[in-house]
Structure 1
Amino acid sequence: MIEEIHSGEGQTAFVTGATGFLGQHLCAMLYERDWTVHGLRRRSSDLGDLETLDIDWHVGDILDESSVQAAIAEADPDVVFHLAGIGLASADSETVHEVNVEGTRTLLQASLDADIDRVVFTSTAGNRRNRGVAVERDLAPAVGAYQKSKTEAERIVHQYVDRNLDVVTVHPTSVFGPGDTTFTARLIKLATDPKLVAYLPGGASIVGVDDCVNGICLAAERGKAGDHYILGGQNLTYREIVTIIAEEANGYSPVAPLPRPIVLAMGTVAKGIGKLFDARVFPFSPEMARLATSELFYSSAKAQTELGYTYRGLREHVGTSISWYNQRFAPNRNENHADSTVETERRTQQEQRRHQVP
């Protein structure tokens, strides 16, 4: 059960990255809690479900200092939520650095100039790692341009905290939920497509998107200026993740792990492809391939104690995500489900394994 923070009636929020996966869910939650919500968007941005909500939109770009300053001045918010960012799946390393680092600097300077009461900056849990379960103090060398950009952005945040800007930093782990066409969609496809039989050998901390954005709201209300909070969820191996999704979706449990040496080789090949063709192929590099096959587990104890943060298990988030996935990617899946020979064979094998004596 998500803990409801007090009503936002009378409070105003300004959200960057408002049309992204996390941003859309955050805007919707703030709106439901009676905040006045302002969002920054580019002229070409797809508003999605937010188009039906009474949100005040400001056309601009996080790299355009004048448009950010004008939007914040016009919105006059109590809290600025900075979610705008970009990853390697969508842009090259230079663009990732420019948006995530220089965009953050632009946003923080505009917030300082406007004397904003509080800024909540969304970073990543990826730059915290441990051989066991990582916490906020477990700083780790950044891997890849995305983690490097977020680590650099955090340094800039602390520079502005030293200049008396009130900034709280949150670190979501692997976010799962409707609207996510990358991580969530790939996991659901893996659990529902009978032709996909292998899973990664590592693991992740899976947090439902509603729990995550609730944590962002809690950070705005209860976080300590200059501090960091991991917003994580259930620590699961990828086999456990895909199995849970398969069970809830009436899909197909995983058969075997993808051998780690193959994943590492894929990283090397992907790096070569990137240099040769200027293309972006996950896992992008050998270093990222090693991370992809590791158990990246996290503790949210600090957020639970200081913010009142809570999270639910993955199983409770699968239903809404499956409904969204089927509407978005497989509208005719139910009609065609029984017609696939591959699916029938896979289902038979699965039933046979269930009845085998361990």
Structure 2
Amino acid sequence: MAASQASSRTALVTGATGFLGSHVARALADAGWHVLALQREEADTALLEGAPVTAVEADVLDHAGLDAAVPETVDLIVHCASHVSLWRRNGPDQLRVNVRGTRNVVRLALARRARLIHVSCAVAYGQHSGVIAPDTPRLGRNSSITFVRSKAMAETEVERGMRAGLDAVILNPAFLLGPRDRSGWSRMVRLVAQRRLPGVPGGGGSFCSVTDVAAAIPRAAETLDRGTRVLIGGVNVSYAGLAREIGTQLGHRRFLRPVRSGILQAYARLEEGVAPLLGRDPDVTTEAVTLLTGNVYCDARQAREQLGMAEVSLERMVADCIAWMREAGRL
């Protein structure tokens, strides 16, 4: 699809007020799309400030509300809305948003005859001992971690829609780093800055730039065939290595080393018990320790070949995240 064609077409972005969604909304607008930003009535829209988008008020959990609020002339739906948490206490809400919400978005895309780009995540493949590749068995539905299980189940909803005729593609990005992160890996940045990080799990993962992933969405809309799945890998690094890079950029001389899983699990159970009494979410959870004790390394070749994505250095990703946190008064 040429840029002149895109300018006359409309894209709906779910989760547009969030970390990834706010980047995707801007990337689509920059590519010439008329962007509708789906947001709940009570949503904090600060991350969309100044973005050339049109607000559409609805909740992915409300199918009738979605159908009433979204125009008939939507050509593309990019589904970024997700309940991201690794606290078991949030599990029921997480399953509703990630699974039922995706089901409603699939129904909407079918009704509008719109192309759907479902932005999932690499952990939907489940935990594996090696490097996740496009042909790696997807075991996320069997995970004990609610977030992982819910993302895998959401993909099943998209696949069910494709069997009913839906034009959809699925993207599985690795862990995202970059600006406008308020609750993801920026939490590690804040804990390192405050010298409150109790330890680092012994595993590692792939990290990719949120701005580059968002910039790939218009290309995916224009070039990927129906039914395509793209694994978006990035820089492979241990979580201790990530903590060291954060510490270096913050000017810290004391670097954390990996801590045994049992010790972190004990600390996480304590956090999960105390944090609600203090009116906050726990800094470390048992599900987070379980996920991050293993490896979530991803092959990046598919993203390079099919979406033309280049590898962004860990140094730049961390620097972009820290710069935004400082600008936003979060550091």
TM range, normalised to the smaller chain? 0.7 to 0.9
Aligned to 2:58: 60
Q: Which residue of 1 is the match for residue 93 of structure 2?
A: 95
Q: Which residue number corresponds to residue 25 of structure 1?
A: 23
Code of the aligned partner of 1:134: I
Contact 2:119 2:171 in 1 (8 A): yes
Contact 2:162 2:168 in 1 (8 A): yes
CA contact (8 A) 2:204 2:238 kept: yes
The equivalent of 1:167 in structure 2 is 168
Gap change, CA 1:311 and 1:115, over 3 Å in 2: same
Tell me, yes or no, if the aligned pair for 1:174 and 1:204 is still in contact at 8 Å.
Answer: yes
Shift of 1:314: 1.3
1:51 has 2:52 as partner: no
For the aligned residues, what is the CA RMSD?
A: 2.9
Gaps of 5+ in 2: none
Structure of higher CA gyration radius: 1
Give, in angstroms, the shift of residue 15 of structure 1: 0.6
Alignment of 1:82-121 (within 5 A): 82-88=79-85, 92-116=90-114, 118-121=115-118
Q: Which moved more, 1:289-298 or 1:152-161?
A: 289-298
Once the two structures are superposed, the pairs formed by residues 242-253 of structure 1 within 5 Å of their partners are 242-252=243-253
Corresponding residue for residue 224 of structure 1: 225
Which position in structure 2 is the counterpart of 1:348? Answer: none
Give the equivalent residue in structure 1 for 2:296: 296
TM-score, with normalisation over the residues of structure 2?
0.87
* Contact in 2 for aligned 1:123/1:170 (Cα 8 Å): yes
Alignment pair present for 1:192 and 2:193: yes
Q: 1:197 to 1:155 in 2, by over 3 A?
A: closer
Output the TM-score relative to the length of structure 1: 0.81
What whole-Å deviation, never above 9, does each CA across 1:21-49 have from its counterpart, x for those lacking one?
11111111112222111111112212114
CA–CA distance in 1 between the matches of 2:227 and 2:283? 33
Q: Which amino acid letter does the alignment assign opposite residue 296 of structure 2?
A: L
Task: Judge conservation of contact 2:86–2:145 (CA < 8 Å) in 1.
Answer: no
Q: Give the CA deviation at 1:284.
A: 4.1
Change in CA separation of 1:318 and 1:283 when aligned onto 2, cut-off 3 Å: closer
Counterparts of 1:271 and 1:61, CA distance in 2: 29
Cα 1:249–1:164 change in 2 (3 A) is same
Structure 1 residue 239 displacement after superposition: 2.1
Which deviates more, 210-219 or 191-200?
191-200
Pairs aligned (count)? 324
The answer as to whether partners of 2:170 and 2:227 remain within 8 angstroms in 1 is yes
Q: Does the 8 Å CA contact 1:170/1:231 hold for their aligned counterparts?
A: yes
Against the structure 1 CA distance between its residues 94 and 274, is the aligned structure 2 distance closer, same or farther, given a 3 Å change threshold? farther
Supply the AA of the counterpart residue of 1:326.
R
Deviations 1:46-90 (A, max 9, x none): 21142323311111111111221123335x222100111113358
How far apart are residue 150 of structure 1 and its match? 1.4
Tell me, yes or no, if the aligned pair for 1:89 and 1:282 is still in contact at 8 Å: no
Alignment of 1:248-259 (within 5 A): 248-252=249-253, 254-259=255-260
- Distance in 2 (CA, whole Å) between partners of 1:227 and 1:274 is 42
Paired position in structure 1 for 2:120? 123
Q: Match for 1:187: what amino acid?
A: M
| 1:250 shift after superposition | 2.9
Secondary structure of residue in 2 paired with 1:153: helix
User: C-alpha distance in 2, partners of 1:77/1:176?
Assistant: 30
Partner of 2:314: 314
Q: SS at 2:61's partner residue?
A: coil
Q: Which amino acid letter does the alignment assign opposite residue 294 of structure 1? A: G
Find the counterpart in structure 1 of residue 210 from structure 2.
209
In structure 2, C-alpha distance between the alignment counterparts of 1:132 and 1:239, rounded to whole Å: 18
Ranges in structure 1 where 5+ consecutive residues have no aligned partner: 332-358
SS of equivalent to 1:134: coil
Distance 1:224 1:252, change over 3 A: farther
